[in-house]
Amino acid sequence: MSNLLIWFWTAVIFASLAWYGFLLFYIAARGGKEIVQMTRVLRGRKEEEKFDK
């Protein structure tokens, strides 16, 4: 039982480490694009508001 649990926690910890490593690059790339997109939309809204006034 104890050996099985040790294997379980070994898998959990190393999988977490791999997942954190992967997300680091994935989110850095995708999240950066989304920030640019979000600021474009917000800037567009501001200009629309000015135009409406």
The H-or-E segment that residue 37 falls in is helix 2-52
Tokens of 32: 């950066």
The residue type at 27:
I
Rounded least distance, CB 51 to another protein, Å: 14
44 binds another protein (CB under 8 A): no
Rounded least distance, CB 3 to another protein, Å: 9
Q: What does the DSSP 8-state code read for residue 39?
A: H
31 binds another protein (CB under 8 A): yes
Rounded least distance, CB 10 to another protein, Å: 7
